[in-house]
Every structure is written in C-alpha cells, then in structure tokens.
Structure 1
Amino acid sequence: MKNRVVVTGMGVCAPNGLGLQEFTKSLQEGKSGIRFHQELEDLKFSCQIAGKPNISQYHINKYFSPLQQRGLNASGIVYGVIAGMDAWKHAGLAIASKETPDWDSGIIFGTGILGVDKFRESIHLIDEGNTRRLGSTSVMQTMASGISAYLGGILGCGNQVTTNSSACTTGTEGILMAYERILAGKAKRILTGSCSDSGPYVWGGFDAMRILPSAYNQAPENASRPMSASAAGFVPGSGAGALVLESLESALERGAHIYGEVLGGAVNSGGQRGEGTMTAPNSEAVQRCIVAAVHNAKIQKGEIDVINGHLTATGKDAVEIQNWSAALGCSGTQFPYVNSFKGLMGHCLAAAGSLECVAALLQFKKGQVFGNINCEDIHPQILEVVDATKIPRATMAHRPEIIAKASFGFGDVNACVIFKAYKNE
C-alpha cells in the first residue's frame, strides 16, 4: 500500500462548470462553455470567442476573505484557489491549525503565466510614479508561484509547496511530480493542479499567430472541433483543475473516497529536433513518452481501454492519433475509445492537463466514456487509423479499467499519465 498512489479529491473551475456536479453534467450532456466575448471584438481580435469560467461575486466572497480580496486582480489565482479548496474539501481533509502546519501535506500547483491583469495595473501605476498605490499583494499576485503560495497559506501545508510550468503539459506533469513524491515516501498527500489566467493579454499572442478559429464568432459552441476534418484551430480557454493525490495507506486509514489510482507515467521532450519545434511536437518523442508511461505503469499496451488525448482541434490531431496507434500498436476496432474535452471548454492552456485529468477520472465514477462534440466529420486521416465507433459522439455506457491521458506543450514537451479504476482488494 505504501507504494500505491490514489486520487481522493478533485475540484474544477472550468468554462463549462464550477464544481464537480455542474462540470460532470456538462461533460455527460456535451454542453459547451465557449462563449462570445464583446471585449475581444472591441479590441479587434480575429477570434472573439473563448472559454472562461463564470465567476460571480458570490464565489469570490465564498473563497476569499475581505482582506484577501483587497487589490485582488489575478484571475488564475481565483480559479486555482476555488478548484484547490474544493478538491481539499472533497477529499475530506481539514485545514491545518493556526499554530502548526500539516507536515505531511504539500502542494504542486502549476501555471503558465499568472497575474497578467495585475501586471498591467502595476505597470500603469509605476509609469505614473504611483508605486505606493501598488498595494501589498502585487508581488504575490504576479509571481509564478503565487498560486501555490496562496493555497499553501490557506490550507497550512508544511510539505513541499511549489509551482511547475511546462506550457500545456503543466497540469499532467504536476500530477506525475506529486505521484513521484508520494511514491518516494516524502509526503502522504499532495494537492496538485494547474491554472491559467483569462483575457486578451493572455490570448492576444495566439490571435496574432492566426491559429484560432475566426469564422465561428457567431457560433461559438461549434468552434472547437477536435478530430474534425473542419477543425479550424483551437479556442483559447482558462480555468483550473485540482486533484488530491494520496498514498493508498493514508487514504484507507482515513476512509477516504477513491476516484482512481495513479499507476505511473512519463515526461520527455523532443528537443525541438527533427519535426519538433517550439510549437509542434516531435512524433518520435510523443511515441516514446506513451511507451515509457505504459512501461512505468507496469501494464500491457492492450490494457488501455480509454484515451483522453491532447487533441486541440488543429491539423495536428490526425498526427496525434497516428502517434497513439504507433505507440500502442493498435488500430481499427482494437484502438481504445478516445475523446477530447476541448470541444466543451476550449484549450485552457496551462490549466488544460489538470482539468482534463479530472474529467478523465470522472469516467471511472460514472461508468461512462464522455462524448466528443463537433466531430460529425471525423478527419479522414484519423479514420484510416481508428474505427469511427471508437470516437463516441455522445456519452456512452462503458466502465473504463485503464485510462491514458496525455498532454503536449509548446517547447516540444510531453507528459502521459496512466490511471486505473480502483477496486477494493
């Protein structure tokens, strides 16, 4: 038991749902959280749609004290605190006393870029010679580790408290970092996850690259089209996902609910060599990462029955499916069921991996494989590899045994984690 790691709590702050109940329902029903944003039109963006959590003042008041709210202007921190606190609560864990930290619990919570709006606000004040008006929280809101620092202070974690950052691979990589720390006996439990800021100052660079779909401003829910022949680019998104990883021994001692087991995984990089670039993955590296994850998890390739891919709704989706096929040595009807949740929430950048891992694990709980939306016209190169029945359009009844989830990020970096349904043994 000391060498096994399980997931005992999860939380989400997503474009398609706040909290597990709303998030699960949207996944089951194929309800998109992608919306038109007037601000993007006013700023003359080509793509004027995005996935953004719907946060009200009620939520701010629920998760932040009046003192914490003073000068708070970092959406990623808001999303991360909401998801992280929910995951901790759902795991049945208490907040440490005011006097003593919880030495057995840590935090590995990643981000890509944090506090962009706070940076902008601070720059204006500094340029105007008003540094005294910056407030005491400007540093905490703009440092990358601000999210782990906020959560660490709220929960009182005394083990490792840190932030990782690996572009779109961040959340999945963080799960593996937490898994390895618990496996090594250095912590009993780790709150891991990732978050991403919202807004034009985050999404503008992608709009400038012309890799976002600009033809769907009047039909935002149809814009993100993973595995589709008509995919026109990824829809930017934001939010946060969080998971509590814990040693099986600790979970059983507490009588905790277990969402699934982390069997292992792998991370690597294509080195931006060969076909790999800053923005495109090296296929050999992707395949090596998947194969290494299977080996590390001590399973056979054929045991994987569901894949949750990175699958961003670009022309690279077909290449990703080809890489899965080559790595697992399967095709046609022997290929696992495969889905992408980016049709429902967009590509949430650094938050993508953690949000999608939460969604993948919920399939164990529900005994379902969540459907893919907007892929009525599956890409013909994908159909050369995978039988169409393995890409469910709607949520279907199937009790997964082993799920492989992968993320691939800018910088030619890769991560793949293997989850297993937990059964009392």
Structure 2
Amino acid sequence: MKRRVVITGMGVASPNAVGLADFRNAIREGRSGIRFFPELEKLKFKCQIGGKPEISEKMLQEYFSPLQLRGLNSSGIFYGVIAGKDAWKDAGLLIEEKEKPDWNSGIIFGTGILGVDKFREAIHLIDEGKTRRLGSTSVLQTMASGISAYLGGILGCGNQVTTNSSACTTGTEALLMGFDRISSGKAERMLVGSCADDGPYVWGGFDAMRILPANYNSTPEKASRPMSESAAGFVPGSGAGALLLEDLDSAKKRGAKIYAEVLGGEINSGGQRGGGSMTAANDEAVQRCIVKALENCSLKKDEIDGINGHLTATKGDVTEIKNWVNALGRKGKDFPLINSLKGMTGHCLSASGSIECVASVLQLSDNFIFPNINCEDLHPEIVKLITSENIPRETLQTEVKTIAKASFGFGDVNAVVIFKKYIA
C-alpha cells in the first residue's frame, strides 16, 4: 500500500519576494518583481528587464558560514540554499551538527545551468595561466549537482541526494520524484525544489532567440502578460522554491503543520514528434500527461477546482488552454479557475515549477486564488474557450479542494502534479 505524502514546509526566493510570509502577501496583492537592469542596456540587449530576487549581503551571512561564502559566486546556489533551509525550518526540523546523517531524509533539488558567473571567472583565469587562483570551490559551484550537494551537507541528509534537470519542467519533476520516493517507502522526508541562475550570461541566449519582450524596458512591471492579446514574449527570471515532502504518518507523529497533500501526477515527453520540437510541445503528449495525472490520483475530470498553468506570455498560451479544455472535457463556465504566476515573476526557467508549486499550495492552505496581472486584454481565442470569470484579475477569497500545477519545458517534456487540501 502506497504511503500518503504531505507538505510540511516551504521556502522561496522569488523575484517579487524572498521568504514565505512576504511571498504569500506578494501573490495575494499581485505584486510584480520585474525590474529594469542597466547592465543589460549596456550590453545592448533588446530585452533589458528581468526578475531577480533581492538578496542582501546581510541575508547571505544568515544562511551561509564565512567559510561557505569564501569564493562562492553562484546566484542559483544562493537562492536554492535560502529556499531549502527555510523549508526545512518551516517544517519544524532542526539544522544541527551530528555524527551520523539522517538516513530517512533526502533531497532532490534541480537546476538548469549552475555557476555561470563562476564559469566566466574560471575561463578568464585559465586563459591567463592563473589556474591556481580558481579556488577550491569552483568545481562545487559549477557542477549541476552543486545545489543538492550544498544542501545535503548543510542539512545532513543521508537518503538520496541528487539533482534533476529538465528545463522549465525541472521543479515540478523534482517534486514528483520526491513524491515517488516517499510513497514507495524509500524515504520519510524529501526536500524537493529547484533553482536558477540569472544575469546576461543566462538570459542572453533567449534574447538572441527574440522570444523576450523588447518594448517594455521603461515599464517592466507591465511586460509579462500571460493570456493577454498583447503578450510579446516571456520575461526571464530566476530564484528558487523548496517544499518539504513527508510521509503522512511521520508528519502526524511529530505534530507537524500540514499545508496540503500531494496526490501524485504524471511526467512524460512528446518525443519531439507530432508537432512537438525542441521548443514546442506535442499537444497530444500534454493532454495525455494531464489525463494520466488524474488517473494516477483517482480523480475525475470535474474534480479539479483550480489550475496553475505554465502560461508563459507567448503564443503558446492559447495552445495550452486548448489542451486543458480537450484533456478535461470542460469549457466555458464549467472550466476550472486558472492563473499564471509569471505575470508577477517572469519565467524563472528551471526554478519556475518549484516557485509556482509553492504558490499553488499557499492557495489551498490559505483559501484564496491569486490574481492574473497584465491581462486586461484577454486573448480572444482564449475567451472563446473559457469565460473571463475563469481567469481572475483580482484576488478571490475562496476555498478550493484540488489544484493541478503544470510545467512544460524545452525538449518537449511535461509534468503535472495535483495538490489536495488536507483535512485532518
């Protein structure tokens, strides 16, 4: 018999807020974290805006020891450790030095690319014949599993400690991987999440692809426009989200606060066939992923109350809504409430799924639906499929029982997780 899995802790470093309490307020208020960056203007980027968590030196000193900070130059590791430690503490777990690791706790914390600024620094030093000046942490900061390795050492986890990477699907995939490990009895607790670096050396490739908005440099908060007719491309973002998943019996035994239950989900790929490509989703695969997620959770199609979509503010938004309508067999007023966090944060790439999972769970636990911002002009093709009332533009104080969170990534990969309100 599979074990039930619940969420007992969360942490977040998002462009619009750092820390769970402030993030809760930010999404309720529809607060944007997208800003103009003079550095991007100097480098002649077309899109000179982005989403980046505001982290002070003082805050870093609260999360890292002086030794850990020595030579550390990876924004993704900064964000991931902040979110991960916060989630651990939020779950009521101690961070302490002990002789043996915690064999029942593990980590699956993903990323897309890590340590870009450290790579740049290393390349210059090596080319100048100054290899010895790289320092002892350059490998740890630039290996993909650097984030899980840092967290694993800080928290002393002795179960599986690893990093996954599946483009924009990374965070949601990490959560489902952690869910599987607990539900199968291989762990009691898994810290799951994902992080993303930021800056010109991460965002430059997307600017070169001309898929970022170039006309909002003077009005950055208006730039990310999911489901809008005037959407002009996604705004790049960064940060990290973390969730502490736990076996229900373990959580109840130690009297932990329970935010929500993870019912399960599905991960698949469109194989870059049938209309799918490196950058576009195979519609059949997306619909199969949604339907299979419901089947895995023993849910009927009319039991989904809310959807936190991938919805990036590109032409793919219309297609995504069509796929939800076809997969659920629900349209018009019968369609669930749907929202996208990316209007407030931009597209946080490999961190997007985990940050948006935190936002989804907060809606369940606190009985509200956060607003969609910057979509006053809803795309007419979307309005033909679902009513505008299904796309709240103001915060709704309402109780929902189930929320489906979806992530669709480059490489034609998909993940859907379903959260349920926990009732003791």
TM-score (norm 2): 0.99
Map residues 25-424 of structure 1 onto 2, 5 A cutoff: 25-424=25-424
Q: Deviations over 1:314-357 (max 9, x none)?
A: 01101000000000010000000000000000000000000000
For residues 255-303 of structure 1, give each alpha carbon's deviation from its aligned partner in whole angstroms, at most 9, with x where no partner exists: 0000100001000000001210000001000000000000001111100
Q: Structure 1: which amino acid aligns with 2:295?
A: H
Q: 5+ unaligned residues in a row in structure 1: which ranges?
A: none
Following superposition, the deviation at residue 102 of structure 1 comes to: 0.3
Q: Distance in 1 between matches of 2:316 and 2:191?
A: 32
Cα offset for 1:98? 2.7
Distance in 1 separating the partners of 2:340 and 2:259: 20
CA distance in 2, matches of 1:97, 1:24: 31
Deviation at 1:97, TM superposition (A): 3.5
Q: Could you tell me whether the CA contact under 8 Å between 2:364 and 2:402 is conserved in 1?
A: no
2-structure distance, mates of 1:51, 1:300: 37
Q: Distance in 2 between matches of 1:97 and 1:57?
A: 24
SS at match of 1:396: coil
Q: CA deviation at 1:175?
A: 0.4
State the 1:150 CA deviation: 0.1
Which one-letter code corresponds to 2:47 in the other structure?
A: C
SS of structure 2 residue aligned to 1:126: helix
Inter-partner Cα distance in structure 2 for 1:126 and 1:350: 29
Contact 1:2 1:249 in 2 (8 A): no
Is the contact made by 1:96 and 1:157 (CA closer than 8 Å) also made in structure 2?
no
Amino acid of the structure 2 residue aligned with 1:301: K
Q: Distance in 2 between matches of 1:395 and 1:127?
A: 53
Contact 1:372 1:394 (C-alpha < 8 Å) held by counterparts: yes
The residue type equivalent to 2:319 in the other structure is: V
- 1:29-68 residue CA offsets vs partner (Å, 9 max, x unmatched): 1110000000000000000000000010011100011001
CA distance in 2, matches of 1:352, 1:191: 17
Q: Distance in 2 between matches of 1:401 and 1:369?
A: 12
Query: How high is the sequence identity, in percent, across the aligned residues?
Result: 70
CA offset digits 1:63-104 (Å, max 9, x no partner): 011001100100000000000000000000112533110000
- Give 1:2 shift: 6.1
Work out whether residues 96 and 102 of structure 1, in 8 Å CA contact, stay in contact via their aligned partners in 2.
no
Alignment: residue pair count: 424
Q: Distance in 1 between matches of 2:399 and 2:357?
A: 17
CA contact (8 A) 2:307 2:405 kept: yes
Residues of 2 paired with 1:160 and 1:223: CA distance?
40
**TM-score, L = length of structure 1:** 0.99
8 Å Cα contact 1:10/1:242 also seen in 2:
yes
Q: Secondary structure at the match of 2:422?
A: coil
Q: Secondary structure at the match of 1:368?
A: coil
After superposition, the C-alpha distances for 1:348-403 in whole angstroms (9 at most, x for unaligned) are 00000000000000001221011000000110110111111010001111111000
- Which residue identity does 2:385 align to in structure 1? V
**Amino acid paired to 1:226:** P
Give the partner amino acid of 1:291: V
CA distance in 2, matches of 1:264, 1:132: 48
Conserved in 1, the CA contact under 8 Å of 2:196 and 2:351?
yes
CA distance in 2, matches of 1:39, 1:52: 13
Q: How far apart, CA to CA, are the structure 2 residues paired with 1:97 and 1:50? A: 38
Other-structure match for 1:13: 13
Amino acid at match of 1:308: N
Q: Secondary structure at the match of 1:294?
A: helix
Q: Distance in 2 between matches of 1:142 and 1:308?
A: 32
Structure 2 counterpart of 1:419, one-letter code: F
RMSD: 0.8
Question: Secondary structure in 2 aligned to 1:102?
Answer: coil
Offset of residue 20 of structure 1: 0.7
Distance 1:236 1:162 in 2: 26
Structure 2: distance between partners of 1:146 and 1:369 = 35
Aligned partner of residue 397 in structure 1, secondary structure: coil
What letter is aligned with 1:379?
Answer: H
Structure 2: how far apart are the matches of 1:228 and 1:319? 13
Structure 2 SS opposite 1:35: strand
- Secondary structure at 2:405 match in 1: strand
- What do the CA deviations read for 1:99-148 (whole angstroms, capped 9, x no partner)? 11000000000000000000000111111111110000000000000000
Counterpart secondary structure, 1:407 = strand
Conserved 8 A contact 1:2-1:247: no
Distance in structure 1 (CA, Å) of the matches to 2:91 and 2:336: 30
Kindly report structure 1 stretches of 4+ aligned residues shifted beyond 6 Å: none
Structure-2 separation of matches of 1:137 and 1:99: 24
CA distance in 2 between partners of 1:264 and 1:238 (Å)? 26
Give me the whole-angstrom Cα distance separating, in 2, the residues matched to 1:238 and 1:360.
18
CA distance in 1, matches of 2:30, 2:384: 26
Q: SS of 2:291's equivalent? A: helix
